[in-house]
Each structure stands twice: as C-alpha cells, then as structure tokens.
Amino acid sequence: MYVPRTKTKKGVVMIKKTAVAVLITVLNYSIFIAASAAASSNEFRGPVSVKGKAFVDAHGKRFMVRGVAVANSKDASDDHVYDMLTDDNFSEEFEKKILPRLKELNVNTIRVYNIDPTKSHDKAMKALENAGIYLTLELASPKPGENINRITPKYTLSLYQRYIAVIDAMSKYENTLNFSLGNEVVFPGLILSEVAAKCNPSKGGDQEAAGCVDLANDAIKGDAAVLKSLARDMKAYMKSKAKTKGYREIPVGVAMQDTPSSQWKGLTTTSTVAQYYACGKSPSQRLDYVALNAYRYTNESTNVAQYMGILEDYHLDKMPVPFYLSETGGGNRPSASVERDWAIISWNYGLLGNLASPGTEEIARKYVDNLSGEIAFMLLNWKEKAGLYDLDRIAGREIPFEGMTDFGGAKKLAKQFEAVKAIDLPFPSGPQTIACPDNFEPPLLPNPASGTKISVRIDKNFKEKGIVVQSGTVIKHLENKDKVEVEVLKDKEMLLQTSAPNYFTVCKVPQNSLREGDTISDPAKEWGGNCLINDK
C-alpha cells in the first residue's frame, strides 16, 4: 500500500495517518516502519522506473529490491534451459511449488536467468503481480549465438534478435522490473586464466607471462563494448515501440562479477568496468542500473566490513544510476552444513544492529544510502549447494517452509525480509553524470540489425547443404542446389558456407556490393573467393 509522506520542520520523513508507525533512528538518519498489517504486506506498486540513483514506483516512492534468484528447477545438467514461468508449467510447477515459497520468503522480486520468448507467461506474471512480486530477467540464453562469449565477444545479429525477442515477450507486464544484458560476462580472473593457456602454453598457462594480461584486457574491453552497445540498442528499441505498441522504457542493466582489485598487475577490474557502464552525458549513453553478484558475507561471524568496502570499490556515492546486489548469501559459508543466518539483510537496508564496528557508522550510512536492495542466492538447490529449498522435498503449498534444505536458512531469510519490507529509505543523492574511466572507454559497436534490407536470389550450385551468413548469424539454411529468395542487409558482407560440421566458406559478397533483385551464386571451380553476382 502506498502511504503518502511529508517532511517535518526538522526534515524527518513522516507517514500520514497510518494505524501504527514506529520510528527507528539508525545510521544518523530516521527511518519509519509502518507496523500495520496493510503497510507491511506485499502489494503491487505499479511499473517501476529509474529516478536518479534509485528505482521508483508508480507513486513516486523509492523501490528497494528484496528478492531471491530463481533458476530453473529441471534439467539439472543444464539448469537454465527449462522455463518454469510459461503457462504450460504454471499449474503443476509454478503455482503449487514455487509461488508459495516466494510468499513465505517475503520477497518483492525474483531474478530469472532465462525464458522462452515464444511462449506465453501470462499466468505466472499475473500470479506474481497479485503477490506484489516483480521480475528481473536475463535477456541472454545458453543457446549458441544467444549469449556473449567472454573470450571472443561479438555483437551479432542473432544476439540482437534474441534480446529483442525477450523484450517483445515481457514488456507488456507491469511487474517486469528490469532486464539484464548479461550475468558475469566480465570475469577478469577467469578471462585471464583462459587466455593464459593460449598465450603461454609452454609454461602451463602462466598468467604472469608477457602479453597475457594485455590479451585478457582486450577481451574485457570487447565484452564491455558489446554490453554497452546492447544497452544502447535495447533502450532505443523500446523507445521506438512506445507509440506503436505501447512499450514502456524498462530499465536495462547488467549483473557483474565482483573483482574490484587484482593480484595481476595491470588487469582491468570490474570496478573500472562498472564506471564505464555508468558513464555518459545522457541516459541514452549509459546503462540504467548496475548490479553486483557479491559473495563477501554469509553469517554474522564474517567480517561485515567487506560489504562496506563495496562503497569505495565501486564508488557508490559517485555512481549516477541505481546499484544493487544481484546475488548474495552463498559461496563462503564456513562449511556446507552451517545454516545461513542472513543477518546481512537488515544491515543492508539500514538496520545496523550489532554488525557495525565502532567508528564505521558514517561509512555504513553512505553504503546503505547508495544501495537499492539485494537478491538472495538462491531459491532451489542445485549444483552450487546454496539453495533454500530442495524441490524434490516440496510436497505442497499448504505446509509453510516445506522442503527446506538444512543449510539454506529459509526461515531466517524470511524473518530478515519481514523486518525490512516496510522500511522507507530516503532517495540517495549524487552526480547526474560521471566521466568514463581513464584508459578504458572502448567505442560502441554498430547495431548489427541496422541498414537497408533487400531481397536477393540465392542460386546454390554446390552439393553439400549450406547456409547464408551475415554479421555472424545464419539467416537461411540451403538444401542441395537450392534456389531461394532471401532478405539480407544491403551494406553487410554476406557469406555462403557449407553446413555443420565444417562451415567452410564457399564464397563471399563484400559489403556494399548487394542490390535489390541480385542473383548470388557460387563459382563452379575455386572456393573461398567472391561469389558471382548476376553471373559476373
């Protein structure tokens, strides 16, 4: 329920005419928590957008992410293939087993890593809306051509088409909170490890070998450029569809891996890349938000100062866009048998409690001011052994907390989210823009879908099955000696290739060589050169 607010003469945020209100003073500012049942319940707050450094609901109130990651519950060998949100899977899977758990946990957001954009998600999205729950969604998929290869990144037509297909499928839902362009695409340590095996194989992939860090940095620049180019084009796409299809401009951002510093001299860190994502003179030139998969803390015995380090590591007080934690709570448990207490939750939302050390209040206040919430990792137990519930043990929706894992801490997480869900934090202050980092501003890439589309005729002579390729994307499959009309981009290079497994280039058409109605054929003798255009 939206409760109107006003300011007292002292600048303290007040709540008008609520049944009961409790004033808590923490971190040198005052927070009101509405204690009435209505104020503390999850209610849908309309579409969420970005205002400065915060998410804001339809009533102009700051929206704090309070969520859980929900990876798919089937096909454990490839966990991001099965789409539990489709109408087909609603009754037996989502409605009976997943939604009751989300309500138990007191979340207002779920993070989902992949959906099938060809299917309807009306039932699940409506059920989530009725429960006051929003969706943050990855645009990529595990299929070839539909995600970014962090070692050899390319902005291809198939990647663009996958992303807009998901946007087309999910933009109509008012509880689609935001879209994520990629999950941990920039992973400096992993990238360095992989390129080192190639640049210095004689020494077993020595990461300190000359040139290895340079190769890793080149890959990181390529990754960042692809992601920021996608942000530009997805934002432009939604804006272009606003009048014709009623699309709203849903926030677009990224979920980052957490490597703010490195033992390898000269290796680009995620702190630098985050600043690159957020830099730009206008919203169209930057991402709408930055999120971080942060595994710095699990239980109260762990040093909470590691989380306060995020403030300095990522320059949160200077960040001009919302920043939240897209995965937290796993990875560094003392052992697999130790239950997570989730004590960090209330601290991240402003209830400092017993976790603060003397003299850290000012840093803690700045950190909390500039954080827009967090997402617990994760709902269902699988390979990471970090799940709150074991799906095989969930019997039904009528038994609270049925099927909990021994180590997940579902009840404690629910208690922590219950304690903070009515907290009303002030809007963070900060700059409207920031400059791009020194020595890290890779130029944006052209939209692979841009350009004039024309129809040409493919007259295939070679015996093997073939494909027509543009911008790294297969646009047509060809049978034996096929003659077909194909729509292509006029100004892009076009390739005729054999199909899998060889993918040999039979011939190519140089860029800017195609015209409407041309007939493209392969030469009868030598392969690898230029195709014939109108038999020439």
> Tens digit of pLDDT for each residue in 331-342?
555 566 678 888
| pLDDT above 80 for 397 | no
Is the pLDDT at 281 greater than 60? The verdict is yes
Task: Find how far residue 103's CA is from the centre of its chain.
Answer: 23
Mean pLDDT of 410-425: 92
CA dist 290 and 252 (Å) reads: 9
* Position 280 pLDDT exceeds 70: yes
What is the distance between the alpha carbons of residues 516 and 274, in angstroms, rounded to a whole number?
43
Could you tell me which residue, 202 or 533, shows the higher pLDDT?
533
Of 205-214, 318-327, 461-470, 496-505, where does mean pLDDT reach its minimum? 205-214
- At 404 the pLDDT is 87
Q: Which residue has the tokens 């219950």?
A: 418
Average of per-residue pLDDT across 5-28: 38
What's residue 202's pLDDT?
61
- pTM (two decimals): 0.81
pLDDT in tens, 233-259: 999 999 999 989 999 999 999 999 999
Asked whether the predicted pLDDT for residue 39 surpasses 60, the reply is no
Tell me the mean pLDDT in the region 432-449.
92
pLDDT of residue 41: 52
Q: Is pLDDT above 90 for 229?
A: yes
Measured CA to CA in angstroms, residue 113 lies from 140, 213, 228, 279, 399 at distances of: 8, 30, 19, 26, 28
- pLDDT score recorded for residue 184: 97
Q: Judge whether residue 447 has pLDDT over 60.
A: yes
Answer with the residue of higher pLDDT: 502 or 74.
502
Instruction: Look at residue 28 in the predicted model and tell me its pLDDT.
Output: 44
In this prediction, residue 73 carries a pLDDT of 56
Alpha carbon distance, N-terminus to C-terminus of the chain: 71
Instruction: Name the pLDDT band for 4 (thresholds 50, 70, 90).
Output: very low
Q: Tell me the DSSP string of 353-402.
A: TT-PPTT-HHHHHHHHHT--EEEES-SB-STTS--SB-GGG---SSSTTT
Instruction: Check residue 312 and give its pLDDT.
Output: 93
3-state secondary structure of 466: strand
Q: Which has more confidence, 139 or 471?
A: 139
Per-residue pLDDT tens over the stretch 296-322? 876 766 667 778 889 999 999 999 999
Q: What is the mean pLDDT of residues 58-87?
A: 78
Mean pLDDT of the chain: 84
How distant, in Å, are the alpha carbons of 196, 197, 199, 206, 496 from that of 203?
Answer: 9, 9, 10, 6, 40
Looking at residue 219, what is its pLDDT?
Answer: 96
pLDDT at 347: 83
Extract the tokens encoding 191. Answer: 């990238």
Over residues 214-226, mean pLDDT: 96
The pLDDT score that the predictor gives to residue 475 is 82
CB of 476 within 8 A of CB of 512?
no
Contact 311, 296 (CB under 8 A): no
Examine the pLDDT at 2 and tell me if it is beyond 70: no
Q: Round to whole Å and give the CA distance between 508 and 314.
A: 46
Reduce the DSSP state of residue 323 to 3 states and report it: strand
Least confident piece of the model among 260-274, 408-422, 477-491, 507-521 = 477-491
**Greater confidence, 31 or 384?**
384
Which of 105 and 92 is assigned the larger pLDDT? 105
Q: Are 188 and 270 in contact (CB under 8 A)?
A: yes
pLDDT at 294 over 90: yes
pLDDT at 399: 65
> What average pLDDT score do residues 7-15 get?
34
Which tens digits make up the pLDDT trace of 353-394? 655 566 677 888 888 899 999 999 999 887 666 789 987 776
Q: Does the pLDDT of residue 80 top 50, yes or no?
A: no
pLDDT on residue 245: 93
What is the residue whose two structure tokens read 């804006």? 239
Q: Average the pLDDT over 44-65 and give the result.
A: 96
Q: Copy the structure tokens of residue 256.
A: 């980052």
pLDDT in tens, 62-74: 999 999 999 865 5
pLDDT band at 40 (very low <50, low <70, confident <90, very high): very low
Give me the pLDDT at residue 356, please: 58
Length of the chain counted residue by residue: 536
